[in-house]
Amino acid sequence: MFENFQNEILVVARLLLGGAFVFAGLRNIQNRKLVTSLMAARGVPQAALALWLGIVLQVVAGALVITGLWTAPAAAVLILFLIVATPMFHNFWDHQGADRTSRINGVVSNVALGGGFLALIAQYL
């Protein structure tokens, strides 16, 4: 049924997955003071520099995924980003109650994003 729309579905998938990271990167610019302090509290050296590198990575790799340029490498980079960022920002083991639940949901969401990126990579193998 959907085989006639494979290219269109792939474009929408790239837009949604890459767009999530472009949006997150731009949002991190607005929240840079808060995010920098969170990163520093988690022991990240040079937290401000690390944040800016992360923002550039999110926006550039997300845009590459959206445009379909170097999609597989960009998706792989975003998977690596998720591997680093998830335990840093979704450390559910340090929290209780609703905050713990929210952070667990963040982990599950990031795992799902990773799965979406793996599916994109598989399209280009």
Position 15 scores a pLDDT of 97
The Cα 13–Cα 20 span in angstroms is: 11
pLDDT for residue 2 is more than 70: no
The per-residue pLDDT for range 59-93, each reduced to its tens digit, is 999 999 999 999 999 999 999 999 999 998 888 88
pLDDT for residue 108 is more than 80: yes
Task: Report the number of distinct structural domains present in the chain.
Answer: 1
Locate 101 and state its tokens. 């639940």
pLDDT for residue 13 is more than 70: yes
Position 124 scores a pLDDT of 86
Residue 100's domain comprises 3-123
Q: Which residues fall within 8 angstroms of residue 77, CB to CB, at 6 or more apart?
A: 57, 61
- Amino acid, res. 32: R
The Cα 102–Cα 52 span in angstroms is: 25
The per-residue pLDDT for range 31-61, each reduced to its tens digit, is 999 999 999 998 899 999 999 999 999 999 9
Residue 31 phi, psi dihedral angles, 5° rounding: -105, 25
Mean pLDDT to the nearest integer, 1-8: 78
Where residue 1 falls among pLDDT bands split at 50, 70, 90?
low
Least Cα distance to 73 among 64, 84, 83, 82 occurs for 64
